[in-house]
Structure 1
Amino acid sequence: MNAHEFAAAQWTRATGAGVDPHEYRRVTDALTSVDDWGPSLVRTAHAHLARADAARSNISRGGHLLMAARWFHLATLGPNPEPARAAAGADEALGRALTALEPDARRVSGDGFTGWLRGPRDAPRTVIVVPGLDSAKEEFLDLASALLARGLAVFAMDGPGQGSLAATTTLRPDYEQIVRRVVDALGVAHVAVVGLSLGGYFAARAAALEPRVTSVATVSGPFRLDWGQLPGPVRDIMAARTGGGMEAARAFARHVDLSALAPRITAPLLVVDGGRDTIPGVTNGEQLAALAPHGTYLSVPHGDHLLGNARSDWLPHVADHLMA
């Protein structure tokens, strides 16, 4: 895959994450090799940091820092000689942005997780946003904004093998253990959980096994993985994030099967899929919604993976579901 093909494949994911589509075109049209992806996007992130440093108001400063966080995160999606540094840059930029824009935002970390708790302290519900295989808390800022606009509190997190923790931890299938620690650390009686991509599996698993999850949504989450059919790039990412090569990745993939757990999800469940999300080896979520006692299925025919090309078709619906 050449640089322009790779950039085209990431187009809706990048714009869905909230970067300016015109800037994305300018940056990626200048790439001469896929190997330029990471360094070029990191330079773009640093340009936004420079704008933040020159800004005359906290609002402008915070806006530039949020954009820098997005670009740093996107830099980790392609070949990058220092992915941990890019992930750390995203984490630092997000922290600086929230310090400028939301002084009450609170960093909460524990064994296997870290993230930011945002929103009113007396919010009627706290929503945990769970990222996926190679995503991070910086990718879903627009979803967090939609939830915050509804008066909810939001904890956008990185878990084992994700985002700022990818360099020091590895993916684990029993993510309900992490969600359990998060709920304990937040000190709330119950939570809603939304998971995106592989995070959808994590969210559904948590809803089945952690009784304090009282509402759940999945977006482009797998119901089951078939290792033999997964594309090579997905296997490679999974091997890197599980930390033990292909055998560890294969073992992890075997765990991703919600057939037995779906009937145990008693909380209201909304499953969202894009009709154009057809990754080989990934069974989409219709079966999950059918097996869960209170499952609802929303398929957006023109939506792709993560539905970055169709946000208005699902994002308000998911936010309203988690608010109810």
Structure 2
Amino acid sequence: MSTADFAAAQWTRALGAGVDPHEYRRVTDGLASVADWGPSFLRTGHGHLRRAEDAGSSRSAGEYLLTAARWFHLATLAPYAEAHRAAAEADRALGRALAVLEPGARRVSGEGFTGWLRGPSDAPGTVVVVPGLDSAKEEFLDLVDALLARGLAVFAMDGPGQGVLAATTTFVRDYERVVGRVIDALGVARIGLVGLSLGGYFAARSAALDPRVAAVATVSGPFRLDWEALPPPVREIMARRAGSADAAQAFVHDMDLAALAPRIAAPLLVVDGGQDVIPGVTNGEPLAGLAPHGRYLSVPHGDHLLGNARPDWLPHLGDHLAHALTGTPA
């Protein structure tokens, strides 16, 4: 894939992550090859760190740090030997940003997870945001903001093989055990759960197997995967995150929600983009159909993660979780 094609493929994902579109164009237009992606995005992130230092302890410093975290995370989307360093820098920048902007935010970590709990301590409900194949807690800040605006507390996490934990852990099949430990650590009786991309599978599986999940939503989540049909770049990322090609193939072989979907007792919203067509991936419509309280929202012009269609689904998702957790009208 050419550099221009790769940049175009990541365009709406980057916008959904919250980077400035003009800065994105300037950075990607200057790339000689895809190999330059990681170093260029790291340099851009460091530029925002310098702006944060110049801003001192003001709110502007926190905003620059959030922007740096976004760029550091996006640096990991192309093959890059220093991807683990970029993920660690994203993690540090997010922590520094929240120390300025939300001093009450709390780092919560445990076996197989780490993340930030944000929002009021007396929130009427708590939502856990689960990332996907190569995403991380730094990518979905706009989703977190939408949930916070509805008065909910939000825990955006990295799990095994994800984000800052990708350097030291690999994917696990029984992700519901990780979610269970998160619920225990948060000290709440019930949660809402949002899963994005592969995180949609993790969220649906967890909702089927842990009754403390009281509301669930998936965005571009797979219902089933076929290893042989998956594009080579997807298989390569899976192999890195699972630890080996054999481990990734075994992981994918077990990924099928047909038996678990009928066990999801919580209200479920499944969001898909009509333009999200990846060979080997069965999208979420069967999940919504099999779940007892499933609802399907398909956005015809939406792509993977629907970064090109935020107004068409994000308010619906926020209202779905707020209503299910608090009983307030959506």
Into which bin does the TM-score normalised by the smaller protein fall?
A: over 0.9
Q: Name stretches of at least 5 consecutive residues in structure 1 with no aligned partner.
A: none
Q: Percent identity?
A: 75
Aligned counterpart, 2:286: 287
Aligned counterpart, 1:35: 35
Aligned counterpart, 1:261: 260
Aligned counterpart, 2:327: none
Aligned counterpart, 2:208: 208
Aligned counterpart, 1:156: 156
Q: Name stretches of at least 5 consecutive residues in structure 2 with no aligned partner.
A: 324-330
Is structure 2 residue 205 aligned with structure 1 residue 235? Answer: no
Could you tell me how far apart the structure 2 residues matched to 1:17 and 1:116 are? 17
Which residue identity is paired with 2:317? Answer: V
Could you tell me how far apart the structure 1 residues matched to 2:205 and 2:121 are? 27
Over aligned residue pairs, what C-alpha RMSD do you find? 0.6
Which residue identity is paired with 2:155? Answer: F
How far the C-alpha of 1:59 sits from its partner, in A, is 1.2
Which residue identity is paired with 1:2? Answer: S
How far the C-alpha of 1:228 sits from its partner, in A, is 1.0
How far the C-alpha of 1:134 sits from its partner, in A, is 0.4
What are the equivalent positions in structure 2 for 1:133-282 lying under 5 Å apart?
133-243=133-243, 245-282=244-281
TM-score (norm 2): 0.97
How far the C-alpha of 1:79 sits from its partner, in A, is 2.1
**What's the CA shift string for 1:217-276, capped at 9, x where partnerless?**
000000000111000000000000001x21111000012100000000010000000000
Q: Which runs of 4+ in 1 moved over 2 A?
A: none
TM-score (norm 1): 0.99
**What's the CA shift string for 1:74-125, capped at 9, x where partnerless?**
0000021211100000000000000000000000000000000000000000
Which secondary structure does the structure 2 equivalent of 1:236 belong to? helix
Aligned counterpart, 2:328: none
Could you tell me how far apart the structure 1 residues matched to 2:278 and 2:157 are? 25
**What's the CA shift string for 1:42-70, capped at 9, x where partnerless?**
00000000000011552101100000000
Aligned counterpart, 1:23: 23
Asked if structure 1 preserves the Cα contact closer than 8 Å seen for 2:123 and 2:153, the reply is yes
How far the C-alpha of 1:141 sits from its partner, in A, is 0.3
Asked if structure 1 preserves the Cα contact closer than 8 Å seen for 2:129 and 2:154, the reply is yes
Which secondary structure does the structure 1 equivalent of 2:42 belong to? helix
Could you tell me how far apart the structure 2 residues matched to 1:41 and 1:258 are? 36
Which secondary structure does the structure 1 equivalent of 2:77 belong to? coil
**What's the CA shift string for 1:183-211, capped at 9, x where partnerless?**
00000010000000000000000100001
Could you tell me how far apart the structure 1 residues matched to 2:18 and 2:297 are? 23
Q: Choose 51-60 or 299-308, whichever is displaced more.
A: 51-60
Which residue identity is paired with 1:104? Answer: G
Aligned counterpart, 2:131: 131
What are the equivalent positions in structure 2 for 1:1-20 lying under 5 Å apart?
1-20=1-20
Could you tell me how far apart the structure 1 residues matched to 2:68 and 2:56 are? 17
Could you tell me how far apart the structure 2 residues matched to 1:249 and 1:66 are? 32
What are the equivalent positions in structure 2 for 1:64-143 lying under 5 Å apart?
64-143=64-143
Which secondary structure does the structure 2 equivalent of 1:276 belong to? coil
Is structure 2 residue 318 aligned with structure 1 residue 319? Answer: yes
Asked if structure 1 preserves the Cα contact closer than 8 Å seen for 2:57 and 2:100, the reply is no
Could you tell me how far apart the structure 1 residues matched to 2:58 and 2:303 are? 35
Which residue identity is paired with 1:95? Answer: G
Which residue identity is paired with 1:305? Answer: H
Which residue identity is paired with 1:265? Answer: I
Asked if structure 1 preserves the Cα contact closer than 8 Å seen for 2:48 and 2:68, the reply is yes
